[in-house]
Amino acid sequence: MVGTTIAFEKKNGILVPVNAAVSSYQPPQGVGELTRNVKTDYQTGLDILSKPFLEFDEKSVIDEMNVNQRAFLLHSDIEFTRDDEKWRWDRVRPVVRNKVLSMAAHLTAQILVPNVFAQNPDDMEDKQMGEIMRLLLEWNVRNSDYDITFLYGVIAGLVNPAAYFGVDYIEATQTIKEKVKGKYQLKEVVDEFMSGLKVTNVPLDEVFITNPYEYHLQKQRAIGRRKFPEYSELKKIYGNHPNWKYVQPGIKTVFNEEDNTFYDQRDENLNTLAEHFVYYNREEDLEVPFVNGIYMGEDTENPVEGNPIRHRDQNNKPLYNLVKFGAEPIDEKKFYFFKSIASKLMNDYDLANRTWRIAVDTATLRMKPPVGVAGESKLTTDIYYPGSIANVSKDTQFTQLPVGDENAGYNLITLADNQMSESSQDPFRQGLSKDLPNTAFQQAQLTQNARIQLGLIGKMILGAVKELGSLMLDDIMHHQTVAEVNELAADKLQFKNFLFPNQIEEGRQITKEIRFDGSLMRMKEDELEKVEAELLEEEGGLEGSRRIYKVNPRMFRRMKYMIYIDADALLPTNEAFEQAMKLDAYAKAITNPLIASDMDAMTNVTRDLLLGAMKVTRGKEEKYLPRQKPQMLPQMSQPTNSISAQARESQEKSSLSELKKVAIGS
């Protein structure tokens, strides 16, 4: 392992390693110096995870995580081993698990896809480019396991002192068998399942940091990630690396500063699993992997200059490809880790479990009370059955021993449960109501309670989603908007197309398509207008069911993009409540003289607030609206605001054309 220290002993004035042998792996001096620095940061990160902190009541980060996870997984913290105690209740109540899962269900009720603000080089907003980037984010979310990753991440953030999302763009291949002229041949193809933009859950104990009192992950001078995969998995990645030949199962290679030499030590923990440690340093723009302590970077002569961080932002600056988040802050942005909901519940959880065990044991004694016997006779068993006979002398007396009142315990449990509800969510704040009618007002009241209760944790989650979206946006810019070599025509570059079915636009269900086209970069204005006309025809005109965006990739990458997300994004919509609100707005809108006198406004109100409110017509609004709008009689008090159908269609085409120029212009 990178951070392992070798024990040395002095023999005849010479330092000799204990139970270690000089390794055949002796890299160039530059790699040795880099390994020395990485080893120092590795040990710092390991110490931060292992040492006690006052913020965790003198427990370490790992200990805090383990205690919280045991409560969430319903592991008991007590065991009765004596025969006279084995009858006692030793299980725990699932209150922590129930509270955490309830909160996670509310926080993940919506699949969060952040919005995008686009700004062109002239510092002007570009809504069309913002919509295209937002669609690309949604495409990556829908074509991955983002939803389940988000769920597991939120649960981890509620249970552990911190949780992480990892973002990476993977280009994986696989070997398949292809039949050619009656014989099977091996062929390397892209592994579609493993490739692409991936969002993963990263366990807390895999991430090493260098400063526990720096809150922001991106401000950490250096971080590392340690995993223990199988050798076969790492061989697929590093099998062609010249240093792979030094990797041996069960052997860790460590650098010793005493004599600047690498040594091999036996480690039984590495017989089947290898240690994979990736070191990141933003200050030096450095990302370098090690396997069992052996350097697997790209450049052995210049390891620092030759291994830049792979994840780059829009301005090509290095970023750590991790997002850190948690439940509640501990102090004013000085401590790196968080106070989890599981930890917050722990005192009342321990009280409830202790009281619950006593109450259950007391109830058990009441059902089968202990008996005192006075006299010469002795009972040889405590097991009885109907019709059984016990022989005792006539002078024998039986006395039932006193047993406590379990009701006092149940009252104390109720008190602990109420306190835990204050620390998490009571039923009313969860959006549940047994006593109140389910009216629109009550629904609004429940929603407001949920918004307040989830406010703090929701802000932490929204912040994580915003950072996650920004990292995803970086990978989209650097990987999905660039041309690739066409396998069928090796001399031709091809851009990726993106399809978005089941999109709702102005009351119609349509399919959107994004096409990146490098030829647009060389087109003149008249050629662009011709492309626009061809796109409109391919879409089927204004009434078509397709919307095609043909995008100039150079212009797209020149934009500045900013991620933002609405504060109410975490709250799931209540369909019955939303429908009632829309229909109420519709009833009031159609009686408003300003709206009633404008046929366009009436059409929009009918489409959005009436037909769009009901599930049976949603997405099919245009089917029920008249294709030709009736002429409205001019009113004395208000001017007419109508134009001919032909002029209106010409105006709509012109407007659509202008929008497209934003996306395809040079």
Measure the CA–CA gap between 419 and 456, rounded to whole angstroms.
18
Helix runs in 339-454, H state only: 341-367, 406-423, 440-453
Q: Is the residue at 139 inside a domain? A: no
The whole-number average pLDDT for the span 322-340 is 91
Q: Is the residue at 296 inside a domain? A: yes
Tokens 């002429």, residue located: 631
Domain that holds residue 581: 572-630+643-654
pLDDT for residue 354: 82
pLDDT tens for 398-410 read: 777 777 676 766 6
Which residues on adjacent β-strands are paired with residue 469?
none
Q: Is the residue at 457 inside a domain? A: no
The whole-number average pLDDT for the span 145-163 is 94
Angle, vertex CA 258, rays to CA 249 and CA 22, nearest 5: 35
**pLDDT band (50, 70, 90) for residue 370:** confident
**pLDDT band (50, 70, 90) for residue 112:** confident
pLDDT for residue 636: 41
Contact, 197 vs 136, CB < 8 A? Answer: no
Q: Is the residue at 256 inside a domain? A: yes
Q: Is the residue at 82 inside a domain? A: yes
Model confidence at 166: pLDDT above 90: yes
Higher pLDDT: 105 or 468? It is: 468
Contact, 262 vs 25, CB < 8 A? Answer: yes
The whole-number average pLDDT for the span 203-226 is 96
The whole-number average pLDDT for the span 545-566 is 87
Model confidence at 481: pLDDT above 80: yes
Higher pLDDT: 260 or 221? It is: 221
- In 435-540, beta strands by DSSP E: 484-485, 493-494, 497-505, 508-516
pLDDT tens for 567-598 read: 666 655 556 657 777 888 888 888 888 888 88
Contact, 336 vs 208, CB < 8 A? Answer: no
Q: Which of 308, 341, 374 is the last residue of a domain?
A: 341
Q: How many domains, in total, are found in the chain?
A: 2
Weakest mean pLDDT among 137-146, 362-371, 472-481, 657-666: 657-666
Model confidence at 446: pLDDT above 60: no
Please name the amino acid found at residue 666.
S
Contact, 111 vs 165, CB < 8 A? Answer: no
Q: Is the residue at 580 inside a domain? A: yes
pLDDT tens for 605-637 read: 888 888 877 777 777 777 777 766 655 544 444
Q: pTM for this structure?
A: 0.79
Q: Is the residue at 531 inside a domain? A: no
pLDDT for residue 450: 56
Q: Which of 304, 321, 341 is the last residue of a domain?
A: 341
pLDDT for residue 301: 83
Overall residue count recorded for the chain in this entry: 666
Residues 291/296/302/306 CA torsion (nearest 10 deg): -120
Q: Is the residue at 215 inside a domain? A: yes
The whole-number average pLDDT for the span 48-56 is 95
pLDDT, the chain, mean? 81
Weakest mean pLDDT among 38-52, 186-200, 444-458: 444-458
Token couple for 306: 């030759």
Half-sphere exposure of 489 (CA within 13 A, CB side): 4
What radius of gyration, in Å, describes the C-alpha atoms of the chain? 34
The fraction of the chain above a pLDDT of 70, given in percent, is 78
Measure the CA–CA gap between 418 and 463, rounded to whole angstroms.
30
Q: Which of 322, 341, 360 is the last residue of a domain?
A: 341
Tokens 């202008």, residue located: 658
**pLDDT band (50, 70, 90) for residue 645:** very low
